[in-house]
Structure 1
Amino acid sequence: MTTPYTEAGTAEGAWTQSLRLPAATSVEQVHRALAELARSWPVAAFLPGEADEPVGEVVLYRDPSRTYGTPDTSACDAAVRRLVAATGWTPAAGRADDGVLVGLGLREGYGAGAPEHSPEEVADRLRVASAMGWRCRAARLISARFVDDAVRWYAEDGVIVRAEDRLLPAIEEAALSCAQQRYVVTHLAHQRTYVLQQCTSGGLPS
């Protein structure tokens, strides 16, 4: 069967870092800190939780860009050190070394008034494929990049999926059912990171 998605950007390695935050840290506080970091590092992050719930964790990752390039892992580690020094947030000990990390938005396309899906719909797709080997959590998806002397910011409700790589087809089906034009796979098992984009979709610049 032909996949509706094609690989539209890639980077060597599979870097991700979780940070623990003090209790009752607001979404606005996190946004300010990440917007400042974006002046020196292209921010791609998941904030587990929904809407304006306090943020207890920030999951950073890389979003490969054909237009702007992708920072190497040493630059990412340096960015985390700057963020920790500025905020006091705490890096989580240890990193997952297998499976995949994927964030999926729940809005169809990028229009503010477009239909939105629920985290349960994504979980149901995974549940049909397998009763185990995955975890799906509601999250706020964040992208912030310094372009033309300004921080270009994008945020969307979505989910974080951590799963065995055998479940990538089910994740793709979930992305398609939520009408996602693009998403990023951090493939920890294969140590690579790549963007999948709908073959017939323009989407945001990659």
Structure 2
Amino acid sequence: MTFASPYVVAVNAPGVWVHELLSAEPFFPIADVVEEIAAVSQDTGVPLTAYARSTNGITSSLLLVRDPSRTHGTPGIADCERAAAALAARGTWLSRGQDARSCMLLALGLREGYDPAARVHSPDEVINRVLSKGQVWCGWPAELISARPQPDGPAQVYHEPGVLAFTDFDQMPTLAAIAHDLRQDRFVIHNWLTGWTTAFRRPAGPHGT
């Protein structure tokens, strides 16, 4: 998949896996969800990425996804399903199975870089930019959660506020430009249209920083 963008492909993995879960309670604090994702990742040995639809630090729905990584690899779909089952077995989440749509899902972080003290942009900055182009916005704010199991535990965890965009190929140049302006190092596209999951990164060198 190619489009006008200041980013390059970092990792491209065949297959799209997006597993939806709903909370067994009205809502859970994001901090509790982060801890639970980390525990399941460590217990199962499966690298996990989760997008928690967020409002004021709470969530009631979760998408588990595959995030291709040059460092940690890309977990197989069978392993991902095993991890999703382990999360549901804890009793706090109800599985709705795999999600499949006729579009692409883009997850975009809002923190500049990875320093917890760095500037965090608002979802409205993304949404308003899309709307100002006369384009349709379909998505919502989310906490982007990454957990990677470690040999001696606990899992390595990173999370930040972000947005999820359900989009198509024509909108990708706009979203990539927004990601660049918000100083995002990478983003991931789950493309149900092509059956591929792709991580994009800024290119090395002065023009990629």
What is the TM-score when the length of structure 2 is the normalising length? Answer: 0.87
Q: Paired residue for 2:160?
A: 156
Matched, 1:49 2:51: no
CA deviation after TM superposition for structure 1 residue 148, in Å: 3.9
Does the aligned pair in 2 maintain the 1:44–1:144 contact within 8 Å? yes
* Gapped regions of structure 2 (runs ≥ 5): none
Q: Paired residue for 1:17?
A: 19
Q: Which amino acid aligns with 1:165?
A: F
Mean CA deviation greater in 111-120 or 177-186: 111-120
Residue of 168, 171, 178 corresponding to 2:175: 171
Deviation digits for residues 34-73 of structure 1, max 9, x if unmatched? Answer: 11111121111111114522x2011111110122211111
Q: Distance in 2 between matches of 1:34 and 1:130?
A: 37
Residue of 21, 34, 59 corresponding to 2:37: 34
Does the aligned pair in 1 maintain the 2:5–2:177 contact within 8 Å? no
Q: Distance in 1 between matches of 2:190 and 2:202?
A: 18
Q: Which amino acid aligns with 2:82?
A: A
Query: How many equivalent pairs are there?
Result: 199
CA deviation after TM superposition for structure 1 residue 128, in Å: 3.1
Deviation digits for residues 113-147 of structure 1, max 9, x if unmatched? Answer: 22221101111222234443x41311111111013
Q: Paired residue for 1:86?
A: 90
Q: Which amino acid aligns with 2:6?
A: P
Does the aligned pair in 2 maintain the 1:50–1:140 contact within 8 Å? no
Q: Paired residue for 1:204?
A: none
Q: Which amino acid aligns with 1:47?
A: A
Matched, 1:141 2:141: no
CA deviation after TM superposition for structure 1 residue 14, in Å: 1.0
CA deviation after TM superposition for structure 1 residue 24, in Å: 2.9
Determine helix, strand or coil for the equivalent of 1:168.
helix
What is the TM-score when the length of structure 1 is the normalising length? Answer: 0.88
Q: Which amino acid aligns with 2:167?
A: A
* Gapped regions of structure 1 (runs ≥ 5): 202-206
* Closer/same/farther in 2, CA of residues 66 and 94 from structure 1, 3 Å limit: closer
Q: Which amino acid aligns with 2:79?
A: A
- State the identity %: 30
Q: Distance in 1 between matches of 2:47 and 2:142?
A: 19
* Closer/same/farther in 2, CA of residues 82 and 180 from structure 1, 3 Å limit: same
